[in-house]
Structure 1
Amino acid sequence: MYKFLLIVILTWASLGKSAEFKSGEDYWQVRSGDSVAVAEGDNLFFTWWGCDSCRQIEEELSQQLEGFEVVPLIARQEWRPAAKAFYVMKMLEGNPNAEDVIKQRIEEGTLDPKDQKALFDAVIELGYDKEQVAELLEDRDLYGRIDQAVALAENYNIQYVPTVVVKGRFATDARHTMTVKKFGEVLEYLKTL
């Protein structure tokens, strides 16, 4: 009897949880025609360095976002410098804390994520080689990564940050969830689908 009661309670709890979040309200399902060849396993976190909500979600939900590929969204032309700096730092594999320092300076208001010169001055100040950075800014690989980020955003119809895509099939963003807590809850729910 105890086992039966436990099963009933667990089933009821799981049904209640699935009813708690609604497609179209808390998250959306990516249309199958929108996906690219290897998209089925995509776990992506779209962000922008100038987004306070993104930084808050990254800090508070870091464990839940583990294994998600970070993709800088270029929703506007002025977001491009931050994406370039992000990829330059990834490609050169320098100071492991550099990105955190950059984000902190942006949060403090001492660094503008739209100012390419200021961003790259900061990157160089953090120990990245000036010549390597300059070379990379002219490199096709960098622009290939930028193009890939743009294509992913277009593929999943991402227009806002922060946004997560789970398993290449489901997505949610801060506009749908409104709080960090609910964002995390919806993210965990989407991982179970």
Structure 2
Amino acid sequence: MKKFLAALMLLASATVMAEPQLGNEFNQTAKTIKTDTPAKIEVLEIFWYGCPHCYHLEPILEPWVKKLPADVYFKRVPGVPRPDWAPAAKAFYALEALGLTNKLHTQLFDAIHKARTLNPTVDAPLIDWISQKGGLDRKKVEEAFNSFSTNNNVVKAMNTFRDSGATGVPALIIDGRYITSSSMAGGNQAVLKVADYLIENVRREKTGGTAK
């Protein structure tokens, strides 16, 4: 029995220590995605406000982002694999344009998933909500929603989703070349560990070292 338990402990230890594998916990993106800051390592989250999995990832993602090293840059891009996801993407870019992202990003998630008072697939309720919570004239919010910049960003988001090879959200893209997700990695905590592993590998490549 003691030998059996020791073998189990050894197996468990090996499992914990096992490195993420290409084709399992992460993969290469379908196409290389151009990053905003080539001098840094970009971590890009593809998400959708209507996604419960994205909502549950958010509380552990935020503190992880705050602890990222200075050579790592984090950004979000809304996933738009189909037309009914576009209103929430427009809401994201409207918040950015109006300077309300820090104030309302989490609140918007809560309104959809906790209070369940908001439909993320229709423009009008989202415009009304941002106007109310942001203390802004509805016309100003509507203009931000339907601006050329917002519509252009939504098209770019659609292309990013396609080029990443993502099959769902949330997904994390590292350096425009690697993709992982909670489902691939085995959970929300696990996906951040895979992201840490990929960040470290990319850092080695950028500094002339050898990736694992």
| Interval containing the TM-score (normalised by the shorter chain) | 0.7 to 0.9
Could you say what secondary structure the match of 2:159 adopts? Answer: helix
CA–CA separation in structure 2 for the residues paired with 1:29 and 1:171: 6
Q: Which residue number in structure 2 is paired with residue 59 of structure 1?
A: 59
- Contact 2:24-2:184 at 8 Å conserved across structures: yes
* Residue number among 68, 75, 98 corresponding to 2:81 in the alignment: 75
Task: Decide which moves more: 138-147 or 63-72.
Answer: 63-72
Residue in 1 aligned with 2:205?
none
Q: 1:166 offset after TM fit, Å?
A: 0.7
Equivalent position amino acid for 2:25 in 1: D
**Which 5+ residue runs of structure 2 have no aligned equivalent?**
1-15, 67-72, 202-212
Residue by residue over 1:62-102, the C-alpha shift from the partner in whole angstroms, topping out at 9 and shown as x without a partner, is: 23335311000012211111001111111111374222221
Query: Once the two structures are superposed, what CA deviation does each residue of 1:46-77 show, in whole Å capped at 9, x if it has no partner?
Result: 00011122122221122333531100001221
Distance 1:137 1:83 in 2: 9
User: Which shows bigger deviation, 62-71 or 124-133?
Assistant: 62-71
Cα contact 1:64–1:188 (8 A) shared by 2: no
Compare 65-74 and 44-53 and name the one that shifted more: 65-74
Q: 1:142 to 1:26 in 2, by over 3 A?
A: same
**Residue of structure 1 in register with 2:32 after alignment:** 35
1:24 aligns with 2:23: yes
1:136-147 alignment, distance < 5 Å: 136-147=144-155
Q: By how many angstroms is 1:147 displaced? A: 1.1
Give me the whole-angstrom Cα distance separating, in 2, the residues matched to 1:170 and 1:161.
15
Is the 1:94–1:128 contact (alpha carbons within 8 Å) kept by the matching residues of 2?
A: no
1:154 aligns with 2:151: no
Q: 1:54 to 1:95 in 2, by over 3 A?
A: closer
Question: Which residue number corresponds to residue 130 of structure 2?
Answer: 123
- Runs of at least 4 residues of structure 1 off by over 3 A? 36-42
Aligned partner of residue 176 in structure 2, secondary structure = coil
Partner of 1:181: 189
Give, in angstroms, the shift of residue 104 of structure 1: 0.8
| DSSP-derived class of the 1:74 partner | coil
* 8 A contact 2:93–2:145 mirrored in 1: no
Residue 106 of structure 2 is aligned with which of 87, 100, 111? 100
SS in 2 for 1:69: strand
Paired AA for residue 65 in structure 1: V
Shifted more, 119-128 versus 35-44: the winner is 35-44
Distance 1:121 1:143 in 2: 19
Matched, 1:169 2:177: yes
Q: How many residues align?
A: 176
The percent identity for this pair of structures is 25
Report the alpha carbon displacement of residue 124 of structure 1 after superposing the two structures with TM. 0.7
**Structure 2 residue identity aligned to 1:30:** T
* Cα RMSD for the two superposed structures: 2.2
Q: Is the Cα–Cα contact under 8 Å of residues 58 and 65 in structure 1 kept in the other structure? A: no
TM-aligned CA deviation for residue 165 of structure 1: 0.5
Change (3 A) 1:112 1:138: closer
Aligned equivalents of 1:95 and 1:166: distance in 2? 22
> Could you state the TM-score of these two structures normalised by the residue count of structure 1?
0.81
